[in-house]
Amino acid sequence: MTSAIELEDVVKEYHAHGELVRAVKGVSLDIEEGEFFSLLGPSGCGKTTTMRMIAGFEAPSKGLVKLHGQDVTNVPPNKRDVNMVFQSYALFPHMSVWDNVAFGLKQRKTPQEEIRRRVGEILEIVDLVGREKRRPREMSGGQQQRVALARALVNRPRALLLDEPLGALDLKLRQAMQIELKRIQREVGITFVYVTHDQSEALTMSDRIAVMNDGLVEQLGGPREIYERPATPFVAGFIGTSNLLTGTASAGELKIGDGRVLVPGRDGEVTVTVRPEKITIGTDAPESGLSALAGTVSEVVYLGTYNSYAVRLADGAEMTVFQQNAHDATATAERGDSVWLSWQAQHSYVIGS
């Protein structure tokens, strides 16, 4: 696999109101050809700044940006072979759909005949045939979104950058567009770099995800890896829900009150994470081969396909447990009940291992 986009220790600093702001503190990435790559993180983590440096709207303070092995750090955006889909879509309001989509090809002095053919083709892919003469504001959010996508894709860029493109859509439409985006990406085979703060969106669509926090990449990996084996407490907390347990382990066991967390082969200070859906809730003390903690149910929330329990441990820490509503619709425990939580050793993941 060749690299489509490489970032080498990229830093972005700027002054705002007399203060030095370090938006990106040293990010290195290697995004492969044809990959659906997501930059995921909370707002202000530097993900959008990172993307804008790839597009060429911001110049890095330090470091290199390479597209297909070529250093483009100082190349202006109009000379970079990447295109961007903006969060606000940024469709030209005074132009028709057709003129919006043809804009990039016209700048490159593409022959009329080819413009006609390629714009027609891409409008077919995004399902907008028959709406060529519309103005952007006469269209729904989902349609505008697809115009923005077509306007970028028609240029056949080596990579497409998408800045939270589904943020303005309602939930149903967003889910439909997620599938649609993935389909289009497979169809055109272009590298997609996707910026989002929505972890489920990133997990659904991405081949790989870089989780960013405070200007740095916390973890880089596939969706499953990031979910199952978070590298840092931040990733564990940001991706889905997880329970963090900290303490000193001895002989592969972390003692918490009357209970134990099995961490085979571990000694000393550890931070363990366990996902709420891996935990079983019960009234009897579990058998010895399992991790087990005692606590009191402080909250039960019915969420349709599952119940969410908040369980307070003896030391005051709160654990979240999801229990599927499979056969028995009644809750296994109620508020105030003393319960045992148990899970298999393999579901305790020691962060940073």
Partner 1 sequence: MRGIRTGDRLLHIWTWLVIVWLSSPIAVMILFGFNDKQSKSNTTWQGFTLRWYKELFDIADLTTALRNTLVVAVVSTAVTVVIGTMLGLALGRHRFRGLGATNFLVFAAISTPELVMGASLLSLFVSGNVPRDSVTIIVAHVLFSLSFVVVTVRARVVGLDPSLEEAARDLGATAWGTFRQVTLPSIMPGVAAGAMLSFALSIDDYVVTSFVNGSTVTFPLWIVGAVKTGIPPQVNVMGTLIFGIGVLIAIGNAIAARRRT
Report which DSSP code applies to 223: H
Q: Between residues 81 and 214, which has the closer beta carbon with respect to partner 1?
A: 81
Q: Which is nearer to partner 1, 146 or 151 (CB)?
A: 151
Q: For residue 52, give both structure tokens.
A: 């804008």
Residue 106 Cβ vs partner 1, minimum distance, rounded to whole Å? 9
Taking the complex as a whole, how short is the minimal distance between the CB of residue 192 and partner 1, in angstroms?
15
* Nearer Cβ to partner 1 (155/199): 155
C-alpha 103/C-alpha 157 separation (Å) is: 14
The residues near 111 (Cβ < 8 Å, ≥ 6 apart) are none
d(CA 102, CA 95): 10
Sign (positive/negative) of CA torsion 319, 322, 323, 325? positive
* Residue whose pair of structure tokens reads 């009940």 in the numeric block: 337
Residue placing its CB nearer to partner 1 in the complex, 50 or 243: 50
The distance of closest approach from Cβ of residue 187 to partner 1 in the complex, given in angstroms and rounded to an integer, is 21
Beta carbon nearer to partner 1, 118 or 151: 151
Helix (H) or strand (E) holding 208: strand 208-213
| DSSP annotation string for 115-136 | HHHHHHHHHHHTT-TT-TT--G
Task: State the nearest-atom distance from the C-beta of 107 to partner 1, in Å.
Answer: 4
Q: SS3 for 161?
A: strand
Q: Which is nearer to partner 1, 67 or 249 (CB)?
A: 67
Minimum CB separation from partner 1 for residue 202, in Å? 22
Which residues here bind partner 1, judged by CB under 8 A?
Answer: 55-57, 76-79, 82-84, 86-88, 90-94, 103-104, 107-108, 151-152, 155
**Which phi and psi angles does 116 have, rounded to 5°?**
-60, -45
In the chain, how many H helices and how many E strands? 8, 20
Distance of closest approach, residue 49 Cβ to partner 1, in angstroms: 14
**Least distance from C-beta 16 to partner 1, angstroms?**
10
- CB closer to partner 1, 83 vs 291: 83
Residues 292/285, Cβ–Cβ less than 8 Å: yes
Count of CA atoms in the C-beta half-sphere (13 A) of 75: 16
DSSP E strands in 68-106: the ranges are 70-71, 82-85
